[in-house]
Amino acid sequence: MSDISPKDFIRQIIDQDLLDDPSCKVVTRFPPEPNGYLHLGHAKSICLNFSVADERKGITYLRFDDTNPIKEDAVFAESIKKDVQWLGFDWQDKLTHASDYFDELHQAAINLIKKDLAYVDSSSPDELKSYRGSLTKSGINSPYRDRSIEENLDLFARMKNGEFSDGEMILRAKIDMKSPNMNLRDPAIYRIRHHQHQRTGNAWCIYPMYDFAHALSDAFEGITYSLCTLEFEDHRPLYNWFIDNVKTEHQPRQIEFSRLNLAYSLTSKRKLKDLIDKKIVNGWDDPRLVTIAGMRRRGYPPVAIRDFCQRVGVTKKDNLIEMGVLENCVREYLGDTAQRRMGVLKPLKITLSNYDKNQIENLDAQNHPNFPDLGTRKMPFCNELYIEQSDFLEEAPKKFFRLKPGGEVRLRYAYIIRCEKVIKNSDGKVTELICSYDPDTKSGTGTSEKKVKGTIHWVSVRHSLDAKIRLYDRLFKLPNPSNCEDIESSINPNSLETLQAKLEISLDSEDAPAVFQLERNGYFCIDKEEKETKYNRIVTLRDSWAKIEKQALSQ
């Protein structure tokens, strides 16, 4: 499936190719490394690769770049497959691994040695670094660069046979140590790793480097468009060098686009792992992270994430996208789809002194104000209710239209009430309000012309559901935490607040919605990863960070 997208520069390039050669087939790939969980930047790449191909009746491979067994794990691979499917994309029978091509890659390396285009280097890591040069200084040839083809073939075979230790030797491409592009300064193409691979076990102790395996895997699979982010632009000459010199049947075209940078978030796997290891967040699927697993657990709909990726577009220009853009995509989708319910996050009890304590009314409440077809539900109403603490002020300003001593307010779907008395504890904290209700003001009856300016939500004390609610906010208080030397100092201390709330009893029924709007409080969902029922706030009803974010990003 795909969402129809406007013609970005990549789609324009591909469509022009199809006009020039109608027999051309669009074959793309999404090639993650199984060394961590996917994040929002990956979601953009997933949407782009799958949609570009799907729109043009092409195919997309999901290929795991599993060339570094030290950092990879089958757990990560399974999480990646789950994420891609959850976003709404299907690789069908095109699930592959770089390790599927280990034999072909090994033979390609041997062929480069035979062409005198690769050599085994016995230099130490420090020596290799010193030979490489810098952006302003050319590299110098390794003393092992002129080894004979026969010696290189012998040493490479012995590397494969496990005769050398990790780091003792590497196989390097022989290109140009004086190239201004440092990626072409005889890059490593094979390294020794005496470590069991998650798929091939102990069959190999040498593993191909990313640039080598990535380019040739694309070629082996017949990929026509290798779509990657801008940091790989300088790698393109090397990508093409491998394909040209190995003489593959297919010649993919690499096209780069800007990566997705989202304000107040972090996507570096290394930095995310550090936050997890330090227990600053609770795992890769912590709902405060913009990992796909974290966003799914928080309750973000996949449709909203795809919509966001489409809105930010595909360009060549790096920029920092406001978090509010993502949150608004979520709000817009949930605004039309989520049923309404009522819940009190910080309860304050009110007692209606003139309402019969034995009486219970079942009031009709709409499930969605804009979609009558979603029906209604019954809300029990009695003499004891909970309202939000913030809906009462003892010393209220003139324009405070909620409840105050002697003031009146309407209870949603119910009656107008008046605050008659305030009860406090020994510390002076308000613990209860004694109110009266006007029986002629029942919502929907039209029996009274009395009007009040404020309407608040409520739940019945005797018919409410105790619920643990987690209010998630932005994990970072700075718009670009990746620029901070000490990332921990940029953590928002208010990124998570846990409350014991009171929800309307209908949320305890078998047909209760898993995602809903608590009126005036935001959108919520059941956390399906928890054993006991807990609710996560998906997003607030309004963007409280909008002004702060605009000011921060303009500086």
Amino acid at 20: D
Q: What residue segments make up the domains of the chain, in order of their start?
A: 9-257, 262-339+467-554, 343-457
Q: How far apart are CA 209 and CA 158, in angstroms?
A: 18
CA–CA separation, 392 vs 295, rounded Å? 34
Rounded Cα–Cα distance for residues 464 and 405 (Å)? 26
Q: What is the pLDDT of residues 205-235, one digit of tens each?
A: 999 999 999 999 999 999 999 999 999 999 9
Active-site residue (options: 29, 174, 185, 269): 269
pLDDT value at residue 2? 44
Q: What is the pLDDT of residue 549?
A: 57
CA 390 – CA 401 distance, rounded (Å): 12
What angle (nearest 5°) sits at the alpha carbon of residue 82, between those of residues 79 and 83?
Answer: 85
d(CA 99, CA 66): 6
pLDDT attached to residue 544: 74
Active-site pick, 81, 82, 94, 259: 259
Question: For position 546, what pLDDT does the model report?
Answer: 65
Q: What is the dihedral of CA 439, 442, 447, 448, to 10 degrees?
A: 80
Kindly report the length of the chain: 555
Those residues of the chain that have pLDDT short of 70 are 1-6, 546-555
Task: List the one residue out of 215, 221, 219, 108 whose CA is nearest residue 156.
Answer: 108
Distance CA 405, CA 355 (A): 19
CATH for 343-457 is: 2.40.240.10
Superfamily of domain 9-257: HUPs (3.40.50.620)
The whole-angstrom separation of Cα 534 and Cα 528 is 8
CATH assignment of 262-339+467-554, among 1.10.1160.10, 1.10.10.410, 1.10.3720.10, 1.10.1660.10: 1.10.1160.10
Q: What is the pLDDT of residue 473?
A: 94
Spell out a b/e string for 280-293, using b for 16 or more CB atoms within 10 Å of the CB, else e.
ebeebbbbbbbbbb
Eight-class DSSP state of 260:
-
214, 239 in Cβ contact below 8 A? yes
pLDDT tens for 266-297 read 999 899 999 999 999 999 999 999 999 999 99
Is 269 marked active-site?
Answer: yes
| Per-residue pLDDT reduced to its tens digit, 20-77 | 999 999 999 999 999 999 999 999 999 999 999 999 999 999 999 999 999 999 999 9
Structure tokens at 259: 């990566």
Q: What is the pLDDT of residue 203?
A: 97
The catalytic position among 33, 221, 519, 549 is 33
Residue closest to 175 by CA, chosen among 241, 260, 274, 256: 241
